[in-house]
Every structure is written in structure tokens, then in C-alpha cells.
Amino acid sequence: MDLGLKNKVAVITGGSVGIGLAVAEGLAAEGANLVLAARGRERVEAEAARIAETYGVAAVGVAADVATAGGTQAVIDAAEARFGGADILINNAGTGSNETIMEAPDEKWQAYFDLHVMAAVRLARGIVPQMKRRGGGVILHNASICAAQPLWYEPIYNVTKSALMMFSKTLANEVVGAGIRVNCVNPGLILTPDWIKTAKQLTADNGGDWEGYLQGVADEHAPIKRFGSPDELAHFFVFLCSDKATYSIGSTYFVDGGMLKTL
């Protein structure tokens, strides 16, 4: 099936590892050119070069902290300078948290709001005009099932991802007239390097069975009884970017192996 993505330009934040990298490869396999953004210069440039060579597309890696205004501007400028703008924006950069509301300082709340919400706001302000000049586009926000079904130990993550989901909906209403489709994806348990790292840390002092720990998490939360792979999630992102999803606007999609407990 031709998804109509050949020669499109996609900007992906958090694009050097995990879900962002899987989405980048999925889009590149369909012929899309890429701007990958991540904080680590060496890794993001290496992954961009590898993808370009593997899939025969153009790809550039941008070292940028999108939690800052300067970082988002660097990404916006890179899309303009290298490709004359972007057709697709994947707001994927983010990370989990671990705190209580009573003990977390203001600075931690602000840092997560900057990363999960303001990065998306700033990138929209810079890239939507590029999309308008190019005749339209697609913006996808990678939020979390925790935006609607919170986990007790990460209240800041829950709140900021919920804010991102609402931002996605309101942005969709604002730009739909310009031919720009905005949607949100709420993944459940996806086996990213962060999950593996955490599991190894938590089991280091009691046998090191990190795989067993992760299986226990899956057994507790997901009716499918396993984690999803980044590639499985990436397939859904690629579809939403394609011209086969042109009536999908302003929605939030749960890709969670049945984890969501409500309608």
C-alpha cells in the first residue's frame, strides 16, 4: 500500500532512540526525509546518517534540547534551511517522573511542563507556518495512557501528558482549516530502553531478573500480557501521517494492549 509519504519532510523530537527512532525508521521506509532532534549530538547525527544510508532518504540530526526556546528554534531553523520546511511534526520527546505532589518542587513541575507541553507549543508556532506554505501537514503528539489513567508514582508526568493531550485537541481545531491534521497517541507499555534501564536498576540487588520484573508489570497492567515494541507503535504513527488517515483529526488514540480500563 502506497501511504503517500515519499519525499515528505518529517521532524521528530526525541528521534535518536526508542519510539522516536522507530517512527523515524518507519517514515524513512516510506520514503520520507527526516529532521531528527535529540540532546546528544553524536548519537542523533549517527542515527540520521545510518537511516539515510539504509533507506536512501535525506536525514539530518539536530542536537537540541526542545525543553528550551533556543532548542525548539534550532529544530525549526534546521527544517527550513535543509528542506524548505516540514510536512510532518512528531512531538515525541519526553520522559517519566517519580515524585509525590507534596514533595516535588516548583522547578521539577516547570521542567516537565517545558518538555512535554511548551516544546509542542513552540514547535507548532514555528512549523505550522512552514506547513501552510507547503499546502498542509500532519502533527502528532506522543502523550501517554497516563494522560487519562494515571500511575500513582508519577503525578507530574500524568499532569503534563494530560495537558499535551488537551493542547493537541485545541491545536487541531485551530489549524484544520489550513489542511493540517493534528492527533494525539496515548501509548501503554512500550518496551523502550528507558523501561529496560529502570528494570535493571530495580532488580540489581535481588537477582537481576529484569525481564521477569517487566513481565510482572505487563501481567499487572496489560490484558495482552506483554509490552508492545517501538516498531508496533511506530506502524500506527506512520499510518496517521499518511494520506490514508485524512479524516482523522483532533482525536486521541490509545495503543495500549487493552490497558485502558474505561470506555
Q: Is 66 found in the same domain as 32?
A: yes
Active site residue 112: no
Question: Would you place residue 199 in the very low, low, confident or very high pLDDT band (cuts 50, 70, 90)?
Answer: very high
pLDDT at 214 over 90: yes
Closest of 196, 200, 186 to residue 257, by C-alpha = 186
Q: Is 55 found in the same domain as 16?
A: yes
* Mean local confidence (pLDDT), 129-152: 98
In angstroms, the first-to-last Cα distance of the chain is 31
Q: Which of 55, 112, 153, 157 is the catalytic position?
A: 157
- Record the pTM: 0.97
State residue 135's pLDDT score.
98
Neighbours of 38 (CB within 10 A): 26
**Distant-in-sequence, close-in-space partners of 221: CB < 8 Å, separation ≥ 6:** 188, 189, 259
CATH code at position 181: 3.40.50.720
- At which residue does the C-alpha cell 491545536 appear? 171
Q: What is the pLDDT of residues 60-87, one digit of tens each?
A: 999 999 999 999 999 999 999 999 999 9
Q: Is 202 found in the same domain as 82?
A: no
Q: Is 157 found in the same domain as 78?
A: yes
pLDDT at 1 over 90: no
Closest of 56, 64, 1 to residue 33, by C-alpha = 56
SS3 98: coil
* Rounded Cα gap, residues 213 and 199, in angstroms: 6
Q: What is the pLDDT of residues 218-230, one digit of tens each?
A: 999 999 999 999 9
* Mean local confidence (pLDDT), 163-178: 98
Domain span including residue 214: 191-227
With contact defined as beta carbons under 8 Å apart, do 129 and 76 qualify? no
